[in-house]
Amino acid sequence: MKLWKKNIHLDEKIENYTVGTDYLLDNKLLKYDCLASIAHAKMLHKINILTEDEKNSLIAELETIIRLHEKGEFNIQKSDEDCHTAIENHLTEKLGEAGKKIHTARSRNDQVLTALRLYYLDNLDRIQSQIHQFQKTLKQKSRVFDGIKIPGFTHTRKAMVTSVDVWVTAFRDAMTDNLKFLKYVKKIVSQSPLGTGAGYGIPLKTDRQFTSDLLGFQKPQKNPIYTQNSRGKFEALVLSLLSTIMFDLNKMASDLILFSMPGLDFFKLPDEFTTGSSIMPQKKNPDVMEIMRGNYHKVLSLEMRVKSMMSNLIMGYHRDFQLFKEAVMEAFDVTCDSLNIADHVMGSLSVNQDVCEQHIDDEVCATEKVYRLVEKGIPFRDAYRTIAEEFHRGK
Task: Please pick, among 155, 278, 311, 392, the residue that the annotation labels catalytic.
Answer: 155
Judged by CB under 8 A, which of 75, 143, 283, 350 binds its own copies? 283
Give yes or no for residue 162 binding its own copies (CB under 8 A). yes
Judged by CB under 8 A, which of 76, 302, 329, 356 binds its own copies? 302
What would the x/- binding string for its own copies be over residues 38 to 57, using CB under 8 A? -----------x--------
Give yes or no for residue 309 binding its own copies (CB under 8 A). yes
Give the Cα separation of 91 and 99 in Å (integer). 5
Give yes or no for residue 293 binding its own copies (CB under 8 A). yes
Judged by CB under 8 A, which of 76, 197, 220, 352 binds its own copies? 197
86-125 residues near its own copies, rule: CB under 8 A: 88, 92, 97, 99-109, 111
Give yes or no for residue 212 binding its own copies (CB under 8 A). no
Give the Cα separation of 304 and 330 in Å (integer). 13
Give which of 183, 153, 325 is closest to 251, Cα–Cα: 153
Q: Is 392 a catalytic residue?
A: no
Q: Is 155 a catalytic residue?
A: yes
Judged by CB under 8 A, which of 13, 52, 71, 72 binds its own copies? 13
User: What's the CA dihedral at 337, 342, 344, 347 to 10 degrees?
Assistant: -160
Segment near its own copies (CB under 8 A), from 23-31, 58-66, 68-76, 269-277? 269-277
323-382 residues near its own copies, rule: CB under 8 A: 323, 327, 337-338, 340-341, 344, 363, 366-368, 370-371, 374-375, 379-382
Q: Could you count the other beta carbons within 10 Å of the beta carbon of residue 260? A: 19
Please identify, using beta-carbon distances, which residue of 136 and 297 lies nearer to its own copies: 297
Please identify, using beta-carbon distances, which residue of 301 and 353 lies nearer to its own copies: 301
Task: Please pick, among 79, 84, 260, 277, the residue that the annotation labels catalytic.
Answer: 277
Segment near its own copies (CB under 8 A), from 24-32, 63-71, 131-139, 235-243? 235-243
Give yes or no for residue 207 binding its own copies (CB under 8 A). no
Query: CA-CA distances (angstroms) from residue 214 to 111, 217, 360?
Result: 15, 8, 60
Residues with catalytic annotation?
Answer: 155, 277
